[in-house]
Structure 1
Amino acid sequence: MRRRMMWLRAVAGAAALVTATSLALPAAASSPPRAATAVQDYCGGQCNDILPPGENGNATLADILANRAFGTHPAHTDDQLGPYSSLVDGYTGLSDSTLSSYFNSSSFGVPTDQVESSISPRSDVTIVRDKATGTPHITGTTRYGTEYGAGYAAAQDRLWVMDLFRHVGRGELSSFAGGAAANRQLEQSFWQAAPYTEAELQQQIDSVANQGPRGQQALSDAQAYIDGINAYVTQAYNARTFPGEYDLTGQINAITNAGSIQPFKLTDLVALSSVIGALFGSGGGNQVQSALVKEAADAKYGTTLGDQVWNSFREREATSAVTTVHDGQSFAYGQDPASPQGLAMPDAGSVTPQQLIFDPTGSAATSTASPKVASRSTDAAAARKAPAKLRPLAGMFDKGVLPGNLLTAKHGMSNALVVSGKYTDDGHPVAVFGPQTGYFAPQLLMLEEIQGPGISARGASFAGLSFYVELGRGPDYSWSATSAGQDITDVYAVRLCNTDGSPATKDSMAYQLNGVCTPMTALERDDSWSPTTADSTPAGSYRLIMYRTAYGLVTARATVGGVPVAYTSLRSTYMHEADSIIGFQMLNDPGAVNSPQTFQQAAQHIDLTFNWFYVDSAHTAYYNSGRNPVRPATVAADLPAWADPKYTWQNWDPSSWTADYAPPAQHPQSVDQDYYVSWNNKQAPGFAAAGFGDGPVHRANMLDARVKGLVATAAANGPKVSRASLAQAMESAALTDLRGEDVLPLLLSVVNSAPVTDPTQAALVKQLQTWLSDGAQRRETSAGSHTYADASAIQTFDAWWPLLVQAEFQPGMGSDLFNAMIGALQLNESPSGGQTGPSTGPADANESIPHKGSSFQFGWWSYVNLDLRAVLGQHPADALAQPYCGGGDLSSCRQILLTSLQQAASESAATVYPSDSTCSAGDQWCADSIVQRALGGVTDTNTNWQNRPTYQQVVQYTSHR
């Protein structure tokens, strides 16, 4: 208590100091409130959206101090969190008339009586903010002014987040925000994915200008946007209204105001784009792990049967998997030939990761001829320290400002539910869709409306890239996306050599290129950090180095048939991070998009791997975007190949980082299908999965079953689909345990194949049956109770899953194959982020992200389902090549399940749900709960678990141009 009081006194003193300093500085100029310019809106008041926790992401130092001391929040930082969370308890009684209780209006413009503020940072643009959410509505009379206003508004709402991520993209997070282990882990992972020199960032800007009038317009828009950001930075610095995180990390002195916020420039947008693309718009690159599974299966069963086992676990073309396109079309991509050529399979035990971190004084970085990339940061990191009174508060950054495994851990992302007007209440299509980008405070996304010459859109955009709306609506159409993750990244083996002619080893820094021993290019970044508090991470520094070849970035070393090689990762969007800008520009242009076909044409200009969905008053559409490289027909897409022109992408040109790409007609697409669902699942028949896990049990099943049921009822002249009923279908799936809905019935069938005579086991089975009968949901007994209905059954099942999977599969697979498979696909992704089962190393251990909301994307659900169905004699399609549970014997399998069930029931709540920085041990609801991960100084309360998009639209257009 005494420490708490001392801390509060320090905070109060600092708050008084900051307030006095702020009052001594001039305030930003503003204009009298006025409404946003009215534009034609064809939604008829039936467009809604929401983005928790709130639009405002700017908290001054005084705001942060007050939040920490008294729990107060700046306006509009958390006002969307309550409605978002309350849908958990309110969805069962949802109606179209009550949607506004859980979603905000996303109609164009702001009624006069709803205007909260209005400013004109230039004479040709006005930024109006509404009272409800504080969303900026930007209206410009010139194109430059419009984009200038977009940049100004973005900096008002997300300056700190934008600054964080431009440093992440450059491998400079530690020098900017402190050397916490999580910060270092994060900058390392992104430097491995997208390392560039400053010249290469500029080259990517220049290449956009070569893409015709739209490319040139995009660069003009981007520059105006940057100008708006920098105008706000200057004004905020002078008025001391900038985010308080700059004070807490020592960028600016809270007492003297000494320091600076570095101006933004165009290359920052490429750095930001590379971060977003790596997080949400890439796919593939798993060829070495797939090879390890194949080799382990071959070692266990012999080549013929081993390959069958590998293929059955791989589920590349699972015919029983839910697909987004189900209208009879097929799109072949990523299929393996019967007898692949050019395979570069690693020798057993030879694979080692490429070293990334080097001591700054070491000589490893100078082993190539490439120059060192200097750090862009101009701050003297070693000299930075927050003023003494702020050091207790600055300690919030000691664990890092972002999750260290933000990139390396697998992510379940977004979903979409779209129904044709043929089945809806008023004959117009309905859509409930949005991206799942994680829960942060402030959010990675921001809301905005942009109206100007050639632009008319409202929706969400990633902070720092909001010169166009990326997911949202135009005058008479809406669009959204889910991450697709198809295979646009291949792994090649380059033969190592030494330029002096000495024998090559795995550590050699040169490789054979067209018969010439060629040094690898070293992409280097020096980063250093100093503590911001007396007891934080000690000062330090290191050098990050990624090595690049003509076939991509070096990620691992190995031997293949005794030959030393480097495995390289070649991503088709590498060196092309900014190219997708034109597609987003078109989506914002009502002159470019006015039909499903023109929507698909716009999406074709987006190189990132996304599933795009469209709805207007009469039509629906879908298109899968991505820069899909064309491989030789003889090459296996999911195994490493030799870096030889015979086996690499057709017409691969390392000088321009270009190749041949699949034409638009070969991308999964559809118009006016009866309904579409997507939850990052398989896109279409024939379109091979990039990794493991796209089998017959997938979380998309929960959406598909519900929407299919709604459509079937409507087709049978029952109730038609409405905005409310489609939102209910989404939320019902969001609260359901996939394992409970799609696998527990089989587990109970096996267990109940004979009477359960043990009283303890019988009670457990009855408990699980009751939970299943209740819908296998994770819901409170009543709103705000923080206690689950069926809590004991849920705890038992959470504990049981990893135990039953290991008991079912490991004895038959053997440890080597079982561990290789865990490396390819984790056993579990539960709401709490725990119960992941055995770990085979750092990669698997990184999969656990507590309090993230998104769940059940990655796990062994299909394998358990298929294996148990075979045990029960059901002969499923896509059956595993070998039986595992009890060797296929029903009685033996039943005993394995009962034994592991009883073992699970003996685990305490504290073991199943261990304590963390948010929750006490054993607190089930809290363990599942969503935490808005603080990217800065303001924190929010944790909320009910739900498996739902972060930003979400509910739309139904009534008319069209």
Structure 2
Amino acid sequence: MPRRTPRNAPAALRTPRGFPGFLKAASVCTLIAGLLSPLSPAVTLSEAAAAEPAAITDHCGSRCSDILPPGQNGNATLAQILLNQAFGTLPEHASDQLGPYAALAKGHTGLTDATISSFFNDASFGVPADQVASTVKPAGRDDVTIVRDKKTGVPHITGTTRYGTEFGAGYAAAQDRLWLMDVFRHVGRGQLTSFAGGAPSNQGLEQQFWRSAPYTEAELRAQIDSAVAKGGERGRQALADATAYLDGVNSYIDASDSGRYFPGEYVLTGHKDSITNAGTIEHFKLTDLVALASVIGALFGSGGGGEVDNALTLLAAQEKYGVVEGTRLWESFRQRNDPEAAVTVHGKSFPYATKPADPQGTALPDAGSVTEEQLVYDRTGSAAGAAAGDASTTAAATALGSARRGMSNALVVSGEHTASGHPIAVFGPQTGYFAPQLLLLQEVQGPGISARGASFAGLSMYVELGRGQDYAWSATTSGQDIIDTYAVELCQDDHHYLYRGTCTAMDQVEQKNAWKPTTADGTAAGSYTMRVWRTKYGPVTHRATVGGKKVAYTSLRSSYLHEVDSIIGFQMLNDPDYVKGPADFQRATQHINFTFNWFYADSAHTAYHNSGDNPVRAAGVDPDFPVWARPAHEWQGWDPAGNTARYTPPSEHPNSVDQDYYISWNNKQAADYSTAPWGDGSVHRGDLLDDRVRALVDRGGVTRAALVKAMADAGLADLRAEDVLPGLLRVVTSSPVTDPTAAAAVTKLQAWVAAGARRTETSAGSKKYADADAIRILDAWWPRLVKAQFEPGLGGALYTAMQRNLPVDEAPSAGHGPTGSHAGSSFQYGWWSYVDKDIRAVLGEPVRGPLDRVYCGGGSLSACRDLLIGTLKEAAGRTAAQVYPGDEQCAAGDQWCADAIVQRTLGGIKHGKISWQNRPTYQQVVEFTSHR
């Protein structure tokens, strides 16, 4: 284990807690020596005994638990960063949740309710007297107290006034995540390179997010004013809460600046001088919260888009097979409403974004005419030295960019099927693995607020996912389509377009960034300008011609200019006087305009609701393709001035109360509810949960431990091996396998399937997989068999094009996949359903929602078998070094390391790798024993 900073170290090393330092080890000792000279006291806060809080009954009865790796402490002083880089020491509470989280991968098999505490934190309200590590009155205030516990360092904030409560929440957030908050307010404003340097990873982050939310300062402020006005009394309270929260953040900035214990990344990026303390850390303002919210909304709460890619693959299919047959092929692969798809709500239909019988207004591009809109202009300088920088930061950008694809799960069982008679839930969001983590833990108790759980750093005036006094809630990304692509016809020049018959100038928004040379990350000085052209129908994303007419394709999402609106729903979820049962919970989540699946449990009830502002589309509009920007095809009731429209009512969103059980792993919500992502077919990782939870419910007497074990077991399963490989092996063994190489491979694969098809270590900490050869063979075989199975029938161009809509593979080690290497979340996107349906068709088994034709071997069992055996032999002959070629984290051939999860550095502190498991980052285990 890494060595930790001693508790008796100088104050600068002990003070709570950023961004990679990139300093050479040779210079570290000299810098540390200077930093360890006599220092002013690191903490100058007034400390006092906590005032007695109002009595709160915790109805969880010690049966609420949670976990959030790597640790609560996400800030580090310069000395702590240098010590970490030189010697591997870690600040207190920077990594103490990583070990228990990692240990569940092997420890779950013998789990009991009594041993859950070995792998999760106690999430009860309050801190026992003998577990109090510190008690602080921030800024000397007497209306709020922050108590931190010894085990995790989580802040328990108790206020006697609403203002004091929120002040304390802001102060505690800055203690734990100040640098990360600063990074992301600059990401949201498209200013990260000017703030943190011109490393390619920084450029990628700011370009990706600013493109989708290129707001001016006035527009950021207008969002606040609009949300307050629309929210009435709750809107006014939210504004007051946010103001108090920022006062707390800024108070900590001032205290840490004067005490010289601010995050060391400010020194490493040139904002502060380590010797003279010259320089400033800018105070946060309300519009910074909007910038932060726009990033989180883009990451996790905005499903849809992709209509241009859809159009390109449709055109490719039609070019090869003609319009009728090509369209039928495309629709079969799109699987808009696959009858074999796993769903969260059982037995109910919720039609949305379905394919119209007679599409109207579709604006498909002319072949070969599409170009992506240029974003970056006037580039100077060079990023040629990027290879010398921190590759893990580049990987972090990849993982952040793909996080909106999914990555969360939920398992909720009704009390009718549990041993106690009370519902049980194991649920949480998968927000990726970062150091520091994007989320933070907190307990907040004050007038009108009573909750413990996780919140995004910088937006933690309320608990966003967690528990109240007698209920808990969580979310998964739902991904339903709230984004449409419009084709605006150009007039006059490339920057004018027809808007309701009038030639109208596009609006141009620019962000100019410049950065200084940095030897640390290998970048030279440079600058560039980001430029987005905007229309009434949203920002321009592509240029093309349609029927010979020049058009710009734009992206319009219902949450555009409305990222702040969701604050009202979160305020309600934190209010014990509002949420008293499942109906109140559903009403609260109806105020959240981001696309999420929300789950609820109390001592007697469970519930589910899908949130998001789903626009009511014009009759005949196909949401999967670009549509002409004309009044007849606009969203119903659409007002471009504020980007408001008619939205489908809450009753038309998938919802349920007291269903036998709920599962969600970013799968389809309900029958006829069309989600934007591809891949909701017969095989989905949601099946891994559904199979296990359904079996538990059938047996009855479900316990917390049993539900955790089901989650953990699914999180170690290889979806391909559990749900697709058996069919492949039935084809291969339909006749005796005489080739010795293929026969040996079949034997290994069969044994792995019989053992449970998991990717798990031989023993805890061994860093070697059981069934290692079988795993290697399947990892090598899958992309080969998919290509051999489908490319002959699709043709090379269409096969390649289809992968823009749905990658072939997302195994843990598949660095080419949408999530990137070492990111944990796996098996969300792949051609599992296509292979499954096609193989079953070859075998003559029933297939509901089949593909347009049988592809493997042209439908011949013997030809398909020959194809599979040929690719299997090739895969079996690949060495571990060929299958796992190595990267900046791992040596070639290291299978365990290729899968391993890395906490990607967004700050200066680095952590060790942990064994792969496919589960939420923040996770709760809850079973309430009573109710108010």
Same fold, TM exceeding 0.5?
Answer: yes
Contact 2:425–2:927 (Cα < 8 Å) also in 1: yes
Shift in Å, 1:401: 9.0
- Cα RMSD for the two superposed structures: 1.8
Contact 2:399–2:432 (Cα < 8 Å) also in 1: no
* Mapped pair 1:510 → 2:496: yes
- What's the secondary structure of 1:705's corresponding residue? helix
Contact 1:419–1:430 (Cα < 8 Å) also in 2: yes
CA deviations 1:619-666 (Å, max 9, x no partner) are 000000001000012111111100011111011111111111001110
* Mapped pair 1:153 → 2:172: yes
Counterpart among 775, 779, 784 of residue 760 in structure 2: 779
- What's the secondary structure of 2:673's corresponding residue? coil
Q: Which residue of the partner structure matches residue 242 of structure 1?
A: 262
Q: Which residue of the partner structure matches residue 81 of structure 1?
A: 98
Q: Which residue of the partner structure matches residue 466 of structure 1?
A: 460
Counterpart among 806, 810, 825 of residue 854 in structure 1: 825
- Normalised by the length of structure 1, the TM-score is 0.92
CA distance in 1 between counterparts of 2:858 and 2:664 reads 35
CA distance in 2 between counterparts of 1:649 and 1:321 reads 29
CA distance in 2 between counterparts of 1:314 and 1:397 reads 35
Q: Which residue of the partner structure matches residue 663 of structure 1?
A: 649
Counterpart among 371, 374, 377 of residue 352 in structure 1: 371
Q: Which residue of the partner structure matches residue 566 of structure 1?
A: 552
Q: CA 1:61–1:400 in structure 2 vs 1: closer, same or farther (change >3 Å)?
A: farther
Shift in Å, 1:727: 0.1
- What's the secondary structure of 2:617's corresponding residue? coil
Q: CA 1:693–1:465 in structure 2 vs 1: closer, same or farther (change >3 Å)?
A: same
Shift in Å, 1:7: 4.8
Q: Which amino acid aligns with 2:367?
A: A
CA distance in 1 between counterparts of 2:498 and 2:52 reads 62
Contact 1:587–1:602 (Cα < 8 Å) also in 2: yes
Q: Which amino acid aligns with 1:866?
A: K
Q: Which residue of the partner structure matches residue 120 of structure 2?
A: 103
* Mapped pair 1:166 → 2:185: yes
CA distance in 2 between counterparts of 1:492 and 1:930 reads 39
Contact 1:178–1:400 (Cα < 8 Å) also in 2: no
Q: Which residue of the partner structure matches residue 485 of structure 1?
A: 479
CA deviations 1:740-779 (Å, max 9, x no partner) are 0000001100100111001111001111111111111001
CA distance in 2 between counterparts of 1:492 and 1:78 reads 47
- What's the secondary structure of 2:445's corresponding residue? strand
Structural mapping, 1:32-431, within 5 Å? 32=48, 34=50, 37=53, 39-121=56-138, 122-210=141-229, 211-326=231-346, 328-359=347-378, 396=390, 402-404=396-398, 406-407=400-401, 411-431=405-425
Q: CA 1:48–1:25 in structure 2 vs 1: closer, same or farther (change >3 Å)?
A: closer
Shift in Å, 1:575: 0.3
CA deviations 1:674-700 (Å, max 9, x no partner) are 000000000001101213111110000
Q: Which amino acid aligns with 1:413?
A: M
Contact 1:333–1:686 (Cα < 8 Å) also in 2: yes
Counterpart among 778, 794, 797 of residue 813 in structure 1: 794
Q: Which residue of the partner structure matches residue 372 of structure 1?
A: none
CA distance in 2 between counterparts of 1:911 and 1:233 reads 50
CA deviations 1:247-285 (Å, max 9, x no partner) are 111111112111111100000000000000000001111
Contact 1:803–1:900 (Cα < 8 Å) also in 2: yes
Counterpart among 523, 541, 557 of residue 555 in structure 1: 541
Q: CA 1:858–1:871 in structure 2 vs 1: closer, same or farther (change >3 Å)?
A: same
CA distance in 1 between counterparts of 2:390 and 2:322 reads 54
CA distance in 2 between counterparts of 1:180 and 1:578 reads 30
Q: Which amino acid aligns with 1:296?
A: A
Q: Which residue of the partner structure matches residue 386 of structure 1?
A: none
Q: Which amino acid aligns with 1:301?
A: Y
Counterpart among 590, 593, 597 of residue 607 in structure 1: 593
Q: Which residue of the partner structure matches residue 912 of structure 2?
A: 941
Q: CA 1:398–1:775 in structure 2 vs 1: closer, same or farther (change >3 Å)?
A: closer
Q: CA 1:684–1:889 in structure 2 vs 1: closer, same or farther (change >3 Å)?
A: same
Q: Which amino acid aligns with 2:136?
A: I
Shift in Å, 1:31: 1.4
Shift in Å, 1:410: 6.0
- What's the secondary structure of 2:349's corresponding residue? coil
Q: Which amino acid aligns with 2:372?
A: P
* Mapped pair 1:447 → 2:441: yes
Q: CA 1:425–1:252 in structure 2 vs 1: closer, same or farther (change >3 Å)?
A: same
CA distance in 1 between counterparts of 2:246 and 2:767 reads 45
Q: Which residue of the partner structure matches residue 741 of structure 1?
A: 722
Q: Which amino acid aligns with 1:219?
A: L
- What's the secondary structure of 2:662's corresponding residue? strand
CA distance in 2 between counterparts of 1:857 and 1:15 reads 45
Q: CA 1:32–1:549 in structure 2 vs 1: closer, same or farther (change >3 Å)?
A: same
Q: Which residue of the partner structure matches residue 708 of structure 1?
A: 694
* Mapped pair 1:895 → 2:884: no
Contact 2:59–2:930 (Cα < 8 Å) also in 1: yes
- What's the secondary structure of 1:915's corresponding residue? coil
Contact 2:406–2:478 (Cα < 8 Å) also in 1: no
Q: Which residue of the partner structure matches residue 734 of structure 2?
A: 753
Q: CA 1:101–1:848 in structure 2 vs 1: closer, same or farther (change >3 Å)?
A: closer
Contact 1:47–1:955 (Cα < 8 Å) also in 2: yes
Where does structure 2 lack aligned partners over 5 or more consecutive residues? 1-22
Q: CA 1:676–1:26 in structure 2 vs 1: closer, same or farther (change >3 Å)?
A: closer
Q: CA 1:137–1:857 in structure 2 vs 1: closer, same or farther (change >3 Å)?
A: same
- What's the secondary structure of 1:509's corresponding residue? strand
- Normalised by the length of structure 2, the TM-score is 0.95
Shift in Å, 1:302: 2.0
Q: Which amino acid aligns with 2:40?
A: A
Q: CA 1:868–1:267 in structure 2 vs 1: closer, same or farther (change >3 Å)?
A: same
Contact 1:184–1:404 (Cα < 8 Å) also in 2: no
Q: Which amino acid aligns with 1:654?
A: P
CA distance in 2 between counterparts of 1:810 and 1:757 reads 27
Shift in Å, 1:18: 1.8
CA distance in 1 between counterparts of 2:394 and 2:763 reads 36
CA distance in 2 between counterparts of 1:145 and 1:854 reads 39
Structural mapping, 1:8-47, within 5 Å? 8-20=25-37, 23-24=39-40, 27-32=43-48, 34=50, 37=53, 39-47=56-64
Q: CA 1:956–1:222 in structure 2 vs 1: closer, same or farther (change >3 Å)?
A: same
Alignment size in residue pairs: 903
Q: Which amino acid aligns with 2:187?
A: V
CA distance in 2 between counterparts of 1:770 and 1:946 reads 21
Q: CA 1:556–1:432 in structure 2 vs 1: closer, same or farther (change >3 Å)?
A: same
CA distance in 2 between counterparts of 1:552 and 1:685 reads 31
CA distance in 1 between counterparts of 2:572 and 2:524 reads 48
- What's the secondary structure of 1:406's corresponding residue? helix
